[in-house]
């Protein structure tokens, strides 16, 4: 079996294993299912075309999260997205019990959204999030604390989306 065929098969296995995570991260970053699907495809292409760490499960998951977040940032910075407004967010992929929590997280600034999502929904620890996002542990802790404070204020004020 050729090296290219082996790489393709391994990439397909990785995509099947982590597809939901990639899509959810893209969706919570972009709040648009169509854009999230586009980012999912771009991440899959990056997996095939770049030198991703294909044989190390821990590193590949971190790499996928990092690439997904970076591609979302690039899309948000694009000229098209800076001049358009989304019609409405779609939370149809979330479990029923996660809807209200996701809606609250979507009300946060993007840097808080990512750490909250990775901590509570993907179950990463602060050191792991720090490694994935390439931020210090203190920064991640601060962002988690500020996000919790902001969510508490939203809940106490009774503000809704």
Domain closes at, from 55, 77, 93: 93
For 50, phi and psi rounded to 5 degrees?
A: -100, 175
Domain boundary among 93, 118, 147: 93
Total domains in the chain come to 2
Residues 88 and 125 in one domain: no
**What is the model's pLDDT at position 19?**
94
Return d(Cα 155, Cα 77) in angstroms, integer.
30
Give 24-62 pLDDT, tens digit per residue. 999 999 888 999 999 999 999 888 887 677 667 888 999
23, 36 contact by CB (below 8 A): yes
- Does one domain contain both 114 and 148? yes
pLDDT-wise least confident of 91-100, 102-111, 143-152: 91-100
When pLDDT is cut at 50, 70 and 90, the band that residue 155 belongs to is confident
pLDDT higher than threshold 60 for residue 64: yes
Q: For residue 160, is pLDDT > 90?
A: no
């Amino acid at each position: 079996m050729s090296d290219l065929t082996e790489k393709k098969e391994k990439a397909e296995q990785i995509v099947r294993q982590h597809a939901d995570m990639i899509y959810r991260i893209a969706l919570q970053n972009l709040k648009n299912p169509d854009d999230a699907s586009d980012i999912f495809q771009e991440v899959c292409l990056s997996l095939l075309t770049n030198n991703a760490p294909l044989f190390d499960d821990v590193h590949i998951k971190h790499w996928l999260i990092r690439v997904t977040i970076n591609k979302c940032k690039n899309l948000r910075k694009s000229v098209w997205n800076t001049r358009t407004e989304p019609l409405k967010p779609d939370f149809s992929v979330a479990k029923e019990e996660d809807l209200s929590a996701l809606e609250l997280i979507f009300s946060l600034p993007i840097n808080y959204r990512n750490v909250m999502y990775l901590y509570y929904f993907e179950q990463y620890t602060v050191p792991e999030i720090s490694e994935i996002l390439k931020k210090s542990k203190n920064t991640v802790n601060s962002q988690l604390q500020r996000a919790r404070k902001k969510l508490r204020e939203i809940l106490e004020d009774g503000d809704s989306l």
